Amino acid sequence: MKHLLTTKELSREEAELILDVTEQMAEAVTGREVPKLPALRGRTVVNLFFEDSTRTRTSFETAAKRLSADVVNFAAKTSSVNKGESLRDTALTLQAMGADAVVIRHPAAGAPQRLTEWIEGAVLNAGDGTHAHPTQALLDAYTMKKRLGGVEGRTVAIVGDILHSRVARSNVWLLSKLGAHVRLVGPPTLLPKDIDDWPVEIGYDLDASLKGVDAVMMLRVQRERQNAAFFPTANEYARLYGLDERRLALMPDHAIVMHPGPMNRGMEIAAAVADSPRATITEQVTNGVWVRMAVLYLLLTNGESK
Ligand code: CP
């Protein structure tokens, strides 16, 4: 594995290896006075973000620092991209500065793949358009493993704006590869049309789709990617597809509530549900650091030093 671009191209063995190393990273660092490992000392990780991010950017930065790498944060908004510099020239500049790994978030699907053609270091996709967000799916799978005891055989409902969601796409491929049953639930206007070959069930009725789930993953309604009216009003959306306390009670007692963040409280998820003990939202953020440590470590060392 040289790059991490999508979960679709990961084998089950590779995904399981990442989740096993994630566990090792969490165990190695948790409770240490200095929560650092020397594994990536002398390596440089560049965070190249062309889109806003709170969790993913800081999580990759924390992960790289915990592995003792040097970290360069590149924000497109304050760079020469604003003067017209291309992605290729930006990438070559970072390469000339000795980047061993580039973590890229870009609004265009396929931008991380293009980057692999121009630079020698590892490329890690931190979200490209509506295409893929592999480390989010890996941290979601790890969270299920920790909370539910595993992924194999579990039923996961992914709810809401599937059409615009790279998180949903990455989870569909990863969770199904790991043996989970995936249900996609949302209004017909927010379900992609070309999903006949996706390994999922489709539902339009959220109440019915919550029965028998082990996890429900609520997706943010991505207004910024919507160039048409996909539903009449925010209130109507919340009434039909929002997870509130009444709907939480329809789920089995052990079932967990996930959200990749950022959340629209009161729209896809009620505040009382987001703050309930059954929600794993902050745990997902914590687990994201372990997952990104595992991925950086595996890509940059081939698993050969720790
Ligand atoms: N979940 C996620 O990708 O969050 P950010 O956009 O804050 O990185």
Q: What is the pTM of this model?
A: 0.95
Distance, CA of 122 to CA of 257 (rounded, Å): 33
pLDDT of residue 303: 73
Return the ligand 1 atom nearest residue 52 CA: 6
Nearest atom (ligand 1) to Cα of 54: 7
Alpha-carbon distances, residue 215 vs 43, 167, 201, 270, 298 (angstroms):
38, 15, 15, 17, 28
- Test site for ligand 1: of 55, 136, 143, most ligand atoms within 8 A of the Cβ: 55
What single-letter amino acid sits at 155?
Answer: T
Tokens standing for 272?
A: 């009382």
> What pLDDT is recorded for position 135?
98
Residues 6+ apart with CB under 8 A from 61: 47, 71, 73
What string of pLDDT tens digits covers the 306 residues of the chain?
A: 899 999 999 999 999 999 999 999 999 999 888 889 999 999 999 999 999 999 999 999 999 999 999 999 987 877 777 777 889 999 888 888 899 999 999 999 999 999 999 999 999 999 999 999 999 999 999 999 999 999 999 999 999 999 999 999 999 999 999 999 999 999 999 999 989 999 999 999 999 999 999 999 999 988 776 666 788 788 899 999 999 999 999 999 999 999 999 999 999 999 999 999 999 999 999 999 999 999 999 999 987 754
Q: Is 54 in the pocket of ligand 1 (CB under 6 A)?
A: yes
Residue whose C-alpha is closest to residue 115's, from 240, 1, 4, 251: 4
207 and 179 in contact (C-beta within 8 Å)? no
Note the pLDDT of residue 222: 80
Q: What is the pLDDT of residue 14?
A: 98
Task: Give the position, in ligand 1's atom list, of the atom nearest the Cα of 57.
Answer: 8
Q: Which residues are catalytic?
A: 55-56, 83, 105, 133
pLDDT at site 80: 77
CA of 218 to the centre of ligand 1 (A): 14
Show the beta-strand stretches assigned E in 137-226: 155-159, 181-185, 200-203, 215-218
List all residues 6 or more positions away from 260 whose beta carbon is below 8 Å from its beta carbon.
55, 133, 136, 140, 167, 217, 219, 220, 284
What's the pLDDT at 227? Answer: 64
